[in-house]
């Protein structure tokens, strides 16, 4: 029978593998990532990594799940959707690796025939339900379909962080006061979330 010490060592090694994989995927994406580099960084064998995760795509799914769970802990969504967008901006600004992994996921998985694991979808189902509750409570404009409002708020939260380097350079060269990008995120989110006129029809 496996001893508790051996189990703890196995768990610690697995956690090192996931951390090393997160760094590798953030730098190189799924296609460019290499299991041998992950194994070296994690001080684990490639054979053990394949035994745990099966293949590189499955390891990326695990990394995405860990990242989504971390975001949910650090940036829990509430019915104050403006505050959520600002906190999301702050987190991605402090942790660009999480944002890079999200971008690589879009490039790698967009249009992929295989269905994503249900545990990865559960977090977004929860977020959509919170957006719907905010709309029902009159805290957010019901004209939006909840999933579109969520997607747009995520885009606003990451807009300056994802803007082309050229635009960053032009902005830096502009005369005048420095722009508070966090305040701009809040302003944009407020305009999206603010309930519209009473005669507007909610999305079907």
The pLDDT tens digits for 98-122 are 888 888 777 777 766 567 778 878 8
pLDDT in tens, 78-103: 999 999 999 999 999 998 888 888 88
Query: Which class for 159: exposed (0-12), middle (13-18), buried (19 or more C-beta within 10 A)?
Result: middle
Domains in the chain and their CATH numbers? 8-63 (1.10.10.60), 75-197 (1.10.357.10)
| Spatial separation of the C-alpha atoms in residues 36 and 82, rounded to whole Å | 42
pLDDT above 70 covers what percent of the chain? Answer: 90
- Give the per-residue SS3 of 11-64: HHHHHHHHHHHHHHHHHHHHHHCCHHHHHHHHCCCHHHHHHHHCCHHHHHHHHH
Residue with tokens 């906190």: 87
- Compute the CA torsion angle 122, 123, 124, 127 (nearest 10 deg): 120
Considering the entire predicted model, what is its pTM? 0.79
Query: Is residue 127 pLDDT above 90, yes or no?
Result: yes
Query: In terms of Cα–Cα distance, which of 125, 63, 172 is closest to 181?
Result: 172
Mean pLDDT over 4-16 rounds to: 81
- Whether 193 shows a pLDDT value over 50: the answer reads yes
């Amino acid at each position: 029978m496996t001893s508790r010490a051996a189990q703890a060592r196995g768990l610690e090694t697995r956690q090192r593998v996931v951390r090393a994989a997160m760094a590798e995927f953030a730098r190189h994406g799924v296609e460019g990532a290499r299991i041998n580099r992950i194994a070296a960084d994690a001080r684990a064998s490639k054979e053990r990594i394949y035994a745990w995760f099966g293949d590189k795509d499955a390891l990326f799914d695990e990394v995405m799940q860990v990242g989504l769970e971390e975001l949910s802990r650090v940036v829990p969504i509430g019915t104050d959707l403006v505050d959520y967008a600002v906190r999301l901006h702050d987190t991605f600004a402090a942790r660009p690796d999480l944002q890079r992994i999200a971008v690589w996921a879009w490039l790698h998985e967009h249009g992929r025939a295989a269905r994503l694991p249900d545990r990865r979808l559960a977090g977004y189902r929860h977020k959509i339900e919170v957006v719907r509750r905010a709309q029902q409570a009159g805290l957010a404009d019901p004209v939006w379909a909840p999933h579109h409002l969520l997607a747009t708020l995520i885009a606003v939260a990451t807009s300056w962080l994802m803007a082309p380097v050229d635009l960053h350079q032009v902005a830096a060269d502009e005369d005048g006061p420095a722009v508070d990008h966090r305040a701009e995120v809040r302003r944009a989110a407020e305009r999206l979330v603010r309930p519209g006129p009473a005669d507007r029809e909610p999305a079907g």
